[in-house]
Amino acid sequence: MSKPRPKRSRLVLFLSLSGLLSLCIFFIEWIGSKESGSLALFADAGHIFTDVFAHLISLFALLIASKKPTQKYPFGFHRFEVLAAFLNGLLLIGMAGFILYESYLRFSKPGHVEADSMLAYSLIGFGINLISAGLLVGVSKTSLNLKSAYLHVLSDLLGTLAVVVGALIIRFTGFREVDSFLSIILGIFILKTSYGIVKESVEILIEADTSDFDKAHLLTHIKVLNGIESVPQITVRKLTSGVFSVELQILVVKGSDRDKIVLEIHKVLKEEFGVPFVSVEVLSSSLKSQLEDLSVRETEREFGHHGHSHGHAHDHHH
């Protein structure tokens, strides 16, 4: 059974607050990089700025996804959240590449750094980042879109922590190359997390079978209903995290109340599982076998039904 999604207004509030905090961190670290001469702090400020952009994408997606389904868009606009998560994932990959490139430059040309100033500004950024991550950690578990935003904040947190550790090491040892080692570790971490986000987004967009929905649990609810012989097919589409559409093919016993069966299945899926989009195909065993004998005519997909000659009239009456 899927987890309930928090109210959208709560998601928008938390995401907006987190975005404002990220903007504050950007200005603080940008000023700090000027005062300290720290390239690491400047790179982290740029890292934070991409996070602000990611928050804007996620916020826009949340507002778009709240629109009601229409005749043209029967499943609503939930996929905008998935598209936002996909874009955020790509942004994370680009960010990781930037960090790895910057670490290479630091190896070759380490510059002078005011460690005390670098430490002070990075500690302030780290504190604000902790608050931002705390805002998103709970709601990120129920939304792929907010999960990607949370991973941005988490990567910010780790990046700022790397700057803090780097400042401490430079302060007490003078070993300036430590920035490069920490940046490489951070870049690899971001690549790993961003791959997960992109992979999950693509799976949703191409409507791959999802493991997030407990089909076995659903079957135990449906098979106990009177008049059902078997459930040959269950198709679950994930629209975004926590939102599914379910299509069922049901074989019924002869003489059973089909309307009652369809009503009960809708009740189970909507009231027990929280699935807003339900489609039920009710068949007899004889009709099922006839359907299996039908063959699908091969067509040129780019033309569609209206763009080819299919060799028959549209009057199907016999």
- Over range 149-155, report the average pLDDT: 82
Please state whether beta strands 228-240 and 277-283 pair in parallel, antiparallel, or not at all (unpaired): unpaired
CB 141 within 8 A of CB 3: yes
CB 147 within 8 A of CB 140: yes
Residue 54: phi and psi, rounded to 5, are -65, -40
What are the pLDDT digits (tens) for 76-108? 777 777 888 888 888 888 888 887 887 787 777
Helical ranges in the chain per DSSP H:
8-36, 39-65, 79-108, 115-136, 144-173, 178-205, 215-222, 258-267, 285-293
Task: Quote the mean pLDDT of the chain.
Answer: 80
* pLDDT above 70 (res 2): no
What are the pLDDT digits (tens) for 178-192? 777 777 777 787 788
Please state the pTM of the whole predicted model.
Answer: 0.68
What are the pLDDT digits (tens) for 281-291? 988 877 888 88
* pLDDT above 80 (res 121): yes
Between 267 and 210, the more confident residue is 267
Residue 3: what pLDDT?
47
* pLDDT above 80 (res 217): yes
- Over range 9-32, report the average pLDDT: 87
